[in-house]
Amino acid sequence: MCLGPLGCLLGTCCGSAAASLCCSCCPSCKNSTSARIMYAVFLLIGTFAACIFLIPGLQDKLATIPALCEGSDAGINSALGAIGSEGLIDCSKVAGYGAVYRVCFAMTCFFFLFAVIMIYVRSSSDPRSTIQNGFWFFKFLILIGICVGAFFIPVNGKFEPVWMWFGMIGGFLFILIQLVMLVDFAHSWAERWVGNMEETENKGWYVALLGVTFLCYAGVIACVVLFYIYYGGSGCGTNKAFISVNLILCIIISVISILPKIQAAQPRSGLLQSSIISLYVMYLTWSAMTNEADRKCNPSLTAIFDPDSADADTDSVYLGFDSQSIVGLIIWFGCVLYSSIRSSNTGQMSKLTGSSERVLLDEGNNPSSGDAESGDTKVWDNEKDAVAYSYSFFHIMFCLSSLYVMMTLTNWYSPSEASLTTLYANSASMWVKIISSWICAALYVWTLVAPAVLTNRDF
């Protein structure tokens, strides 16, 4: 779509001459979009680094490197014969959840710093807009510097538990942002397909709408059945209550979406949006149940497919990638990508991102299109009169996204002071996610009911 400017923007790291040479082979793109893509790349690089630190056995492998880790048998004593030396670094900081917390702490500080710097930037005439849309090499150095500094935070059992609560609150807020994006995506999807059906009178669009809606509801039903079987066994009353309540909520929002009064206020509102939201509610329900302290009510996929290998007596879990983390990262990646390339003029997204209506209406008009053939410009300024989105809120959103990544990679569990490779089920995070699912349903209902009730307001 607009990935070509990545090479162009990276070229600016080496100077204007290199940038001009690189940009000559890139497609035209708005600077508001290219900048958001670059910040998304920074976030993805940090996430990839955090994933590397979760590789099983990484700390043990590092300990085998001579003269590297403190307290290792193969330290400087054996390698260099330096009596009394204890190694160069504390390898416990560069492996396991501790390293994930520090990398995500650095990303959070980085985006928060730019959120503060970009307060009240109104157009590209503000000098700070140049900082927002350029200087990528120096920004990358700043991010690396903060990350390196984060690894000097002492391992004393105080930083991780405190930062976990920051991560839990930030992750909860990002889940709400994910919801708004999901609602916007569902409405945009339905409106486009219904519009295509009305314009072309092609029944294929109608069949596609029915097909996607059917698949989403089939997924919801499948989730409910599997949840009752594997997470709602004997003694799992809390999980049963979560499943039942959220199933009822999914039925309620589906019924509300097709009420005559709702349809009169929003003719293109329907079951497609409700099915997508219901599926997301089921995901949040599953995510909450994976934080259940009782391992009998929280089986891993290994325990489900191979019951004989399950360790039902162990309350701690190994820190690594599980199915819930993978699904959470996929949804997170979709939201980050959506927020980077999407300029929405729908009520929810435009108010959330602070988008300028005028810029959104003119976003398809490239003022420099006449020079495109000559290669004079490739990344063009579409924010001379007003910014296309709120710079500060964009960075706040990525700040919360960093915290959400941290909690997702550690499965929202509480760090164990006894081990760097195990975490313990956290009932607080379970309630954070289940309450998020209820707020999710409530917010979607509000987007349906508000236009019908508050008729004198523009939604």
- What digits encode the pLDDT tens for the residues 103-136? 999 999 999 999 999 888 887 788 888 888 888 8
Q: Are the beta carbons of 74 and 65 closer than 8 angstroms?
A: yes
Query: What is residue 389's predicted lDDT score, i.e. its pLDDT?
Result: 78
pTM flag (> 0.85): no
Query: What is residue 263's predicted lDDT score, i.e. its pLDDT?
Result: 82
Q: What is residue 366's DSSP assignment?
A: -
Q: What is the pLDDT along the chain (459 residues), one digit of tens a residue?
A: 444 444 444 444 443 333 334 444 445 667 777 888 888 889 889 888 888 877 766 666 666 665 556 655 444 444 444 434 455 556 665 667 788 888 999 999 999 999 999 888 887 788 888 888 888 899 999 999 998 888 888 776 678 888 888 988 998 888 888 888 887 787 778 778 877 877 887 778 888 888 989 999 999 999 999 999 888 878 888 889 999 999 999 999 999 988 888 888 777 677 888 998 999 899 889 888 887 777 778 776 666 666 665 444 444 444 455 566 677 777 777 777 776 666 544 445 555 555 544 444 444 455 544 444 444 445 666 667 777 778 888 899 899 989 988 888 877 766 654 344 445 566 777 888 899 889 888 888 888 888 877 777 665
Query: What is residue 67's predicted lDDT score, i.e. its pLDDT?
Result: 53
d(CA 343, CA 181): 11
Q: What is residue 30's DSSP assignment?
A: E
145-152, long-range: CB < 8 A, 24+ apart:
146/106, 146/109, 146/110, 147/46, 147/49, 147/102, 147/103, 147/106, 147/107, 149/106, 150/102, 150/103, 150/105, 150/106, 150/109, 151/93, 151/94, 151/99, 151/102
Q: Are the beta carbons of 55 and 97 closer than 8 angstroms?
A: no
Q: Which residues contact 94 (CB under 8 A, 6 or more apart)?
A: 53, 58, 59, 62, 151
Q: What is the Cα Rg of the chain in Å?
A: 25
Query: What is residue 251's predicted lDDT score, i.e. its pLDDT?
Result: 94
